[in-house]
Structure 1
Amino acid sequence: MQPLDCGALTALLLHAASRHLHRKLALLLAAHGLPLEVRDDAFVIPASGFDRLADVLAAFSGTERPDLLAVPRTGERLDLWHVAPLEQWVGRLSSGWFGAASERLRFHLQPIVELGGGGVYGYEALVRAEWGGQLIGAGPLLKAAATHGQSRGFDAHARRGAIQQAYPLLGPGQVLFINFAPGVVYNPDICLQTTFETCREVGADFSRLLFEVTESEAFPDLRLLRAILERYRAEGARVALDDLGAGHTSLTYLAELRPDLVKLDRDLVRGLHGDDPRVPLVSALVRYAHDLGIQVVAEGIETGGELRMVAELGADYAQGYFLGRPAPQPGGLAPQAARFWAAP
């Protein structure tokens, strides 16, 4: 990955798509003490003024912002390949750490537990980055990747890192859950090659790898998604869909794609109890998945009561803070979860 070096920029040229926006932009730039140098109908903002652009942008509505474009300049050279909405450039300037941080990825492992007996079935690799003396979580990393136009590169980079760092830490027979965003895979035969090469480099048993569609992904192209999952399976890996019951992962997707596992949306199990009106829905979803030959993971388990309920409703596995928090090393079951299965 090679995101643009924002620190090398000397100016941004701001262009408004209409006269009204041009006048509004001029007034706001002046109000924030920014120069009104104009070149080819665009306002030239030097690097010394970049820190005030977020305040300028805040005065524009969501419908106006796409019509404000920014062209980066390094020295006297305009980089027309990186023309983008001002909003995107403000995001890039505020996340200049992204390029360096993405080279310092770390993975925290959270256990997925068998509900039948409490054994650790596997671990999900959750991406982090070390930067500035702290850990940056997956949310800010993914947002920064999208802002810098690096979603595809970051997704592949993170998959490779998870395999390299986390797979060697697994216990015998345990499975590694690896997140991926299907929206960045335009051709599975091309885009997934580096992932498979990394698996072979570390000597990974493909049957102990499970690739999971990320929870934030609303993916409309069913045919491409099927091709992606089939490509993973052709190598011997397993696949999972996330957030069943949240709207994105519909029952149609389950029937068409037949993943090996599906994760119930955490909102379905949060605070779940015996008299809860969600119980019939959760029970029906679990039965439907089982009828298709799909195993079910209940995620977001934070209490013993929730764990008991999803076990009674037939889920196969569970994941959540009650069972174990993400950690740099595989930690097994949390003490309270171990006591849950030890109780008579």
Structure 2
Amino acid sequence: MTQQEEFYSILATGELTAYYQPIVSLSDGRIYGYEALARGPASSQLAMPDQLWAVAEKEQRLYALETLARKRAIEGFAPANPAWKLFINLNANVIYDPQFTPGQTLSLLEMQGLTPQQIVFEITERQSIADFTAFKQALSHYRCQGYKIAIDDAGAGYSSLQAIAELRPDYIKIDRSIIRGIDRDDIKAILLETMAIFARKIGCQLVAEGIETLAELDVVTALGVPLGQGYVFARPQPELRPISAEILLWWTGIRKHLGVEASG
């Protein structure tokens, strides 16, 4: 079966799974929310998202795939703590899909007992936005209903600053390339600290992505980044799993060092 045939089979059968990775408050170790990541059938050529979305874009069926992925993400998140946020990827090119018709997400949320205020749409910087005016108009539909917006992969390319200035996001997610080895790289640390100060000044939440080691977590936390995500907390799983016991112990030690009662 070709990738194209597998893609249309996934759309027809709905055989898509949402995996969730926690986003954690770095001030106290509590779960702030989860990012939902779509996965195709394990045996498929389209099991991983890069290939899956590439075929969707080639076939001009971005919106059809996003609708299915969003449905699966919301269904799996429904029993969650009402204070948690669900981060869902939004392909910047979806507004050019001929099937794009706003309004379906709200119906999905209502069916599962969720609200728009719990949803954050992540716009990846790796997908360039050709027409900011048109894209902002599309986003205004979501924002008016209470959804929040995040710029994903900030720092991975050259358009971060323009996207931040034009879209005025509620969250900025710093790409893992900046976080990787930050405990051994003063330039990366200075860059992240600058972004943390900038985010606070514009009233935006900063999320450090791709934290994989306790050494990286130490630096990111010390630099005042409020939220973190990465393998150090948990790998993406098809359930809403808590963060690891090792990390909870790490927070207990840090908070004792600071003279603050551990919250768990």
What range describes the TM-score normalised by the shorter chain of this pair?
0.7 to 0.9
**Distance in structure 2 (CA, Å) of the matches to 1:218 and 1:248:** 10
**Distance in structure 1 (CA, Å) of the matches to 2:177 and 2:40:** 27
The one-letter code sitting in structure 1 at the alignment partner of 2:162 is: T
In the other structure, the counterpart of 1:332 is 242
Over the matched positions of the two proteins, sequence identity in percent amounts to 34
Q: For residues 180-212 of structure 1, give each alpha carbon's deviation from its aligned partner in whole angstroms, at most 9, with x where no partner exists.
A: 11211149xx62212222222222121111111
Instruction: Trace 1:301-316 onto structure 2 (pairs within 5 A).
Output: 301-316=211-226
The one-letter code sitting in structure 2 at the alignment partner of 1:242 is: D
For the pair 1:147 / 2:58, whether they are aligned, the reply is yes
Instruction: Trace 1:95-174 onto structure 2 (pairs within 5 A).
Output: 95-102=4-11, 103-130=14-41, 132=43, 136-163=47-74, 165-174=75-84
For the pair 1:221 / 2:126, whether they are aligned, the reply is no
Aligned with 1:117: secondary structure?
A: coil
Question: Kindly tell me: are residues 135 and 250 of structure 1, through their superposed partners in 2, closer, same or farther at Cα, counting changes over 3 Å?
Answer: closer
Q: For residues 103-149 of structure 1, give each alpha carbon's deviation from its aligned partner in whole angstroms, at most 9, with x where no partner exists.
A: 21110110000011000000011101225489812112112222333
Aligned with 2:193: secondary structure?
A: helix
CA contact (8 A) 1:160 1:194 kept: no
CA contact (8 A) 1:243 1:249 kept: no
Q: For residues 306-339 of structure 1, give each alpha carbon's deviation from its aligned partner in whole angstroms, at most 9, with x where no partner exists.
A: 1111111121100000011111111111232222
Bigger strand fraction? 1
Aligned with 1:96: secondary structure?
A: helix
Question: Kindly tell me: are residues 274 and 133 of structure 1, through their superposed partners in 2, closer, same or farther at Cα, counting changes over 3 Å?
Answer: closer
Report the CA distance between 1:215 and its aligned residue: 4.8
The one-letter code sitting in structure 1 at the alignment partner of 2:167 is: L
> Where in structure 2 are there 5+ consecutive unaligned residues?
257-264
For the pair 1:201 / 2:115, whether they are aligned, the reply is no
**Distance in structure 1 (CA, Å) of the matches to 2:59 and 2:240:** 32
Aligned with 2:241: secondary structure?
A: coil
**Distance in structure 2 (CA, Å) of the matches to 1:214 and 1:294:** 17
For the pair 1:176 / 2:86, whether they are aligned, the reply is yes
In the other structure, the counterpart of 2:140 is 230
Aligned with 1:318: secondary structure?
A: strand
**Distance in structure 2 (CA, Å) of the matches to 1:135 and 1:96:** 11
**Distance in structure 2 (CA, Å) of the matches to 1:216 and 1:256:** 16
Structure with more contact order per residue of length (Cα contacts < 8 Å, sep ≥ 6): 2
TM-score, length basis structure 2? 0.87
TM-score, length basis structure 1? 0.68
For the pair shown, the structure with the greater C-alpha radius of gyration is 1
Instruction: Trace 1:258-337 onto structure 2 (pairs within 5 A).
Output: 258-273=168-183, 276-337=186-247
Q: For residues 67-103 of structure 1, give each alpha carbon's deviation from its aligned partner in whole angstroms, at most 9, with x where no partner exists.
A: xxxxxxxxxxxxxxxxxxxxxxxxxx44421122242
Report the CA distance between 1:249 and its aligned residue: 4.2
Q: For residues 149-202 of structure 1, give each alpha carbon's deviation from its aligned partner in whole angstroms, at most 9, with x where no partner exists.
A: 322321222223322x22213223111111111211149xx6221222222222
What is the aligned-residue RMSD (CA, Å)? 2.3
Report the CA distance between 1:270 and its aligned residue: 0.3
**Distance in structure 1 (CA, Å) of the matches to 2:83 and 2:173:** 21
* Aligned residues between the structures: 251
Instruction: Trace 1:70-81 onto structure 2 (pairs within 5 A).
Output: none
Question: Kindly tell me: are residues 94 and 327 of structure 1, through their superposed partners in 2, closer, same or farther at Cα, counting changes over 3 Å?
Answer: closer
**Distance in structure 1 (CA, Å) of the matches to 2:124 and 2:69:** 13
Instruction: Trace 1:179-194 onto structure 2 (pairs within 5 A).
Output: 179-186=89-96, 191-194=101-104
Structure 1, 316-325 or 206-215: larger mean CA deviation: 206-215
CA contact (8 A) 2:92 2:128 kept: no
CA contact (8 A) 1:295 1:316 kept: yes
Aligned with 2:153: secondary structure?
A: strand
Instruction: Trace 1:29-108 onto structure 2 (pairs within 5 A).
Output: 93-102=2-11, 103-108=14-19
**Distance in structure 1 (CA, Å) of the matches to 2:131 and 2:76:** 30
CA contact (8 A) 1:241 1:249 kept: no
CA contact (8 A) 1:322 1:336 kept: no
